[in-house]
């Protein structure tokens, strides 16, 4: 993975993926405003850059830049996307997992081809993208970015003898990995998922037209009604004649378990599994698997709260707000020394009086490196907690993700290099327990999910040793 120059420290967590949004309507409307609302609702999935591309059937305009949605899209920029007859659009909010964190990597990506101007928004990773990219460079192709999304859009454009739908279907069979993609030309949008459905994509209906989005929250914010999830391996086209579907690849459903553990907003349902309910059940399972005598249960805001409530309900131990999260702390980036990193934790989190003199069960969704977890345990102890028992609603993260989540290199993963007892000592907890893979599966409630970052079983493909390393040319581009 190319994390680039600007890397988020963000709580020692797996970093966000990306959020995609696309809409096609039968009648002209303010598509830019709808895309703006859609990607705002998906901001949690990517906080480095964002963009919107719209069309009126004859002309396509695009605006994108580095920053949060409300930073990039002021009224002036939105007005530039408001022109007569707009009916089609794509929005994207990005966190870089391949390609550096720079403006030229912001999406949607656009390319001029024999099919006209195409735009693409992508969530996930193509595990064979670097190999394909090298082959295309040897054939004389020119790339404008360093991310793997451009590989797909160039492949689509190369099949000049095929329609956009047929070319996209053919490319789906050539790419490996976990991904969901939206593509638009001047008159239609296409949504698709990989054969394993690793990355989510849902369909909504809005005023006689259709919407694609990474999560239902983006449908809800514009008032669209949920239709269904795009099926694994399915290609769906929305145009003036309606919705058309094609099962391109044999479905092998294994969606990413981290959508339910951490990434997706708690107010949604993905692939039929309610996210908030799953997180409550994770806490309930933890209470069964790792019972301990304590006085209160505390969740790490925000993603550990639901599991903490579930733990409290199942154990009968009262839930309380033991950590206050400042709503104004904003994003944090790597700081030049350890002391400043420690101060960033105190800026974001502060213990409440509820923990003083108490035996605390602290519930969080994951431990990556263990550094932030240790600081939080220390905060609770400084506030007077007698004991701190750490419970984690994901299994130990032992392997990197190649499907669109930045989980850090394996040598940096605490569970890949230390035993659970060693991690407990590092973070300073009185006890430490992770949910089991069996317990997690029970909590989510699906037949199968992707657990590659826990057990190394990369069902959707692996980049291999050679292609998982940057070439010299790619490193030079990233370091610009």
The residues assigned a catalytic role are: 18
Q: Are 48 and 64 in contact (CB under 8 A)?
A: no
User: What are the backbone angles phi and psi of residue 33, rounded to the nearest 5°?
Assistant: -65, -40
Helix axes of 149-158 and 164-174: crossing angle, nearest 10 degrees: 130
3-state secondary structure of 179: strand
User: Which tokens in the block code for residue 275?
Assistant: 């996210």
Residue 234 Cα distances to 90, 190, 192, angstroms: 19, 10, 6
The neighbour count for residue 56, using CB atoms within 10 Å, is: 17
Give the Cα separation of 419 and 434 in Å (integer). 12
Give the Cα separation of 71 and 86 in Å (integer). 23
User: What are the backbone angles phi and psi of residue 373, rounded to the nearest 5°?
Assistant: -60, -40
Beta bridge partners of 8: 333
Give the Cα separation of 185 and 172 in Å (integer). 18
Q: In a 10 Å sphere around its CB, with 0-12 CB exposed, 13-18 middle and 19+ buried, how is residue 299 labelled?
A: buried
Give the Cα separation of 369 and 407 in Å (integer). 9
Q: For the residues of 336-381, what is the DSSP string, one character each?
A: SSHHHHHHHHHHHEEE-GGGTT-EEEEEES--SSSHHHHHHHHHHH
Residue 184 Cα distances to 60, 124, 213, 282, angstroms: 10, 18, 14, 39
Q: How many residues does the chain have?
A: 480
Give the Cα separation of 380 and 387 in Å (integer). 9
Give the Cα separation of 284 and 299 in Å (integer). 13
Q: For the residues of 316-330, what is the DSSP string, one character each?
A: -PPB---EEEPTT--
């Amino acid at each position: 993975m190319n994390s680039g120059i600007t890397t988020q420290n963000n709580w020692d967590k797996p970093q966000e993926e990306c959020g995609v949004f696309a809409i096609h309507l039968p009648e002209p409307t303010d598509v830019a405003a709808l895309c703006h609302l859609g990607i705002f609702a998906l901001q949690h999935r990517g906080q480095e850059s964002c963009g919107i591309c719209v069309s009126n059937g004859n002309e396509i305009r695009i605006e994108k830049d580095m920053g949060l949605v409300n930073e990039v899209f002021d009224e002036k920029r939105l007005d530039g996307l408001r022109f007569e007859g707009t009916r089609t659009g794509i929005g994207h909010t990005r966190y870089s997992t391949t390609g550096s964190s720079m403006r030229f990597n912001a999406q949607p990506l656009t390319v001029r081809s024999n099919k006209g101007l195409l735009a693409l928004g992508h969530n996930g990773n193509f595990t064979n993208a670097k190999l394909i990219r090298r082959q295309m460079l040897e054939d004389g192709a020119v790339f404008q970015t360093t991310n793997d999304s451009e590989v797909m859009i160039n492949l689509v454009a190369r099949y000049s003898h095929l329609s956009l739908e047929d070319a996209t279907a053919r490319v789906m069979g050539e790419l490996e990995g976990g991904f969901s993609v939206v593509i638009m030309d001047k008159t239609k949008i296409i949504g698709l998922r990989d054969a394993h459905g690793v990355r989510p994509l849902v369909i909504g209906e809005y005023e006689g037209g259709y919407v694609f989005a990474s999560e239902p929250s983006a449908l809800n914010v514009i008032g669209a009604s949920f239709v269904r999830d795009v099926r694994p391996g399915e290609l769906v086209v929305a145009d003036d004649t309606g919705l058309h579907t094609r099962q391109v690849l044999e479905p092998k459903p294994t969606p990413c378990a981290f959508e339910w553990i951490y990434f997706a907003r708690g107010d949604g349902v993905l692939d039929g599994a309610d996210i908030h309910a799953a997180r409550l059940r994770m806490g309930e399972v933890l209470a069964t698997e790792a019972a301990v005598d304590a006085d209160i249960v505390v969740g790490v805001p925000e993603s550990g709260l639901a599991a903490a409530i579930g733990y409290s309900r199942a154990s009968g131990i009262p839930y309380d707000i033991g950590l206050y999260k400042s709503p104004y702390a904003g994003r944090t980036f790597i700081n030049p020394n350890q002391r400043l990193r420690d101060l960033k934790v105190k800026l974001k989190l502060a213990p409440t009086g509820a923990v003083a003199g108490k035996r605390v069960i602290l519930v969080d969704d994951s431990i990556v490196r263990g550094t932030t977890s240790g600081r939080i345990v220390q905060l609770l102890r400084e506030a007077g907690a007698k004991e701190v028992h750490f419970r984690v609603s994901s299994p130990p993260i032992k392997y990197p993700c190649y499907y669109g989540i930045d989980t850090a290199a394996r040598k940096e993963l605490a569970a890949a290099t230390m035993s659970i007892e060693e991690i407990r000592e590092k973070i300073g907890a009185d006890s430490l327990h992770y949910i089991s893979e069996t317990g997690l599966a029970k909590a989510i409630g699906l037949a199968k999910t992707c657990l590659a970052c826990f057990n190394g079983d990369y069902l959707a493909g692996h980049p291999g040793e050679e292609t998982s390393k940057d070439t010299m040319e790619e490193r030079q581009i990233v370091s610009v």
